[in-house]
Amino acid sequence: MVIARSLLLRCNQESSHRQGFSKPDVRCELSRLLNGYNFRETYIQQLLKTINAYDQEILQRPGFATAFCEASAECFAQGSEGLVRDSEILYRSWDFDVRLIQRRVHLWQGLDDRLVPDAINKDVADQMPGAVWHPVSGAGHFVAIGSAEEIFGVAAEELSQKA
């Protein structure tokens, strides 16, 4: 019982320091502490079961898994609220009309992305008059990393044309 109380106290202290949290999520924190939950290990294990070989190779690059986990942990810092918020933003009506964007906008999409289906971004590209769609066969969710050289090349070329 003493251990549980000290864990609850620790949870309350850790949770109350989180910005934007008025009420600490003690159950989540206590569960994490009691079960020895390691977000990074668990998240990577689950991710590897879901993503394709292209993404698995990128995930195993030095430093990438750590950086991706840190960003993802921030998304889940307050439970599933970050993921829910991302989904709400993605699927609701936006405050602007993409059909009015005339400027050239390049969109790269892995056609084997198992986390975000290509149809979502293709629909946006189809509605945007200035869109340049770059479908990448065999690529997955980490297409921006795998295609970084091409992406930066296109950006450099377009920037040099403006100069």
What is the 3-class SS of 103-121, one letter each residue? CCEEEEEECCCCCCCHHHH
In a domain, 108, yes or no: yes
In a domain, 72, yes or no: no
Total of domains in the chain: 1
In a domain, 69, yes or no: no
Structural domain of 161: 102-163
Contact 74, 87 (CB under 8 A): no
In a domain, 151, yes or no: yes
Per-residue model confidence as pLDDT tens digits over 112-142: 999 989 999 999 999 999 999 999 999 999 9
SS3 content of the chain, % helix, strand, coil (to 5): 60, 5, 30
In a domain, 111, yes or no: yes
In a domain, 90, yes or no: no
In a domain, 45, yes or no: no
In a domain, 31, yes or no: no
Cα–Cα distances in Å, from 131 out to 24, 99, 100?
Answer: 43, 10, 11
Per-residue model confidence as pLDDT tens digits over 80-108: 888 788 888 878 888 999 999 999 999 99
Per-residue model confidence as pLDDT tens digits over 49-69: 999 999 999 999 999 988 988
AA letter at 27: R
Strand, coil or helix: what is 122? Answer: helix
Q: CA torsion angle for 150, 152, 157, 163 (degrees, to 10)?
A: 180
Measured CA to CA, the distance from residue 11 to residue 17 in angstroms comes to 10
The DSSP symbol for 20 reads T
Predicted pLDDT of residue 90? 77
Task: Spell out the alpha helix ranges (H) of 60-101.
Answer: 64-75, 81-91
